[in-house]
Amino acid sequence: MEGLASSRIIPIQASWKRHCSAFLPTFSLHLRKNLNRGQVWMMKRPKSLDLIAASVQPLEASTTSHFDNKQPSKEVLELWRSTDAVCFDVDSTVCIDEGIDELAEFCGAGKAVAEWTARAMGGSVPFEEALAARLSLFKPSLAQLQDFLEKRPPRISPGIEELVKKLKARNTNVYLISGGFRQMINPVASILGIPQENIFANQLLFGSSGEFLGFDDNEPTSRSGGKATAVQQIRKARKPGGADLFICYAGVQLREAVAAKANWLVFSFKDLINALE
């Protein structure tokens, strides 16, 4: 998701107590910076390729009066309106839940896995280690996953469908970048009309009898820093660095460390929708 020679990237990331991807929560935009989990990116078409990454997380009670980035600058608005591609984190951003936590709860291991998720969000454990540890606690079978998908349809964040529609009407490419699993993200992409090739996520692996085998560690999003790698792949690695603009979405949860670094802090997807008009 990297741009061309003079391209710019805009990541929208959720602000959580450690990480976000995502969200209905928090967006963050960084200029030419690599992004953490949960983000939305956008790219510009002509001579430059702008990428915006976004990610959301649950909003906790927090004082926001000390943030001076709740109103976008003219430059930030221009980038947002002229980008060619946007990349969204999924968990706690496009969707209001953390997918792996929901699947674990469905399989009877919700509390233990949620505790691990909190540690992973805090950055105290490498993402790949935390992912393997969480899955090992409940080892979902293919049958359990299919049952989960049938009984627990994705809960889409308010405003995201309208925002994606608006972006597509402007011929802006939309991507989903997630540390979650393709099997759970495919239904979300279908709802939003996002093609499968625009999904960067992990893959659960199963044996011939449907038994859990693990996850595909060849996926860039299976490792720490994987989302930034995915962004770079989108931009064809023709320019070093991550996104040019970082939007922090705090509609669900506010992670102050992330919000403080954002070029634009928003609490509703409606703010992004209105800024396009």
Longest dimension (CA), the chain: 56
User: What is d(CA 157, CA 24) in angstroms, rounded to the nearest whole number?
Assistant: 5
Dihedral angle, C-alpha 229, 232, 233, 235, nearest 10 °: 160
Distance CA 179, CA 55 (A): 12
The residue from 91, 97, 244, 271 that is catalytic is 91
Q: Is residue 84 annotated as a catalytic residue, yes or no?
A: no
Exposure b/e, 244-275, CB count within 10 A at least 16 = b: bbbbbbbbbbbbbebbebbbbbbbbbebbbee
Q: Is 91 a catalytic residue?
A: yes
* Exposure b/e, 111-137, CB count within 10 A at least 16 = b: eebbebbbbbbeeeeebbebbeebbeb
Cβ–Cβ under 8 Å, residues 253 and 58: yes
Q: How far does CA 258 lie from the centroid of its chain?
A: 14
Hey, what amino acid is at 5? A
Using CA atoms, how far residue 80 sits from 5, 54, 185, 207, 262, in Å, is: 19, 12, 25, 44, 14
- Give the active site residue among 50, 84, 89, 97: 89
C-alpha to C-alpha distance for 250 and 93, rounded to whole angstroms: 9
Known catalytic residues are 89, 91
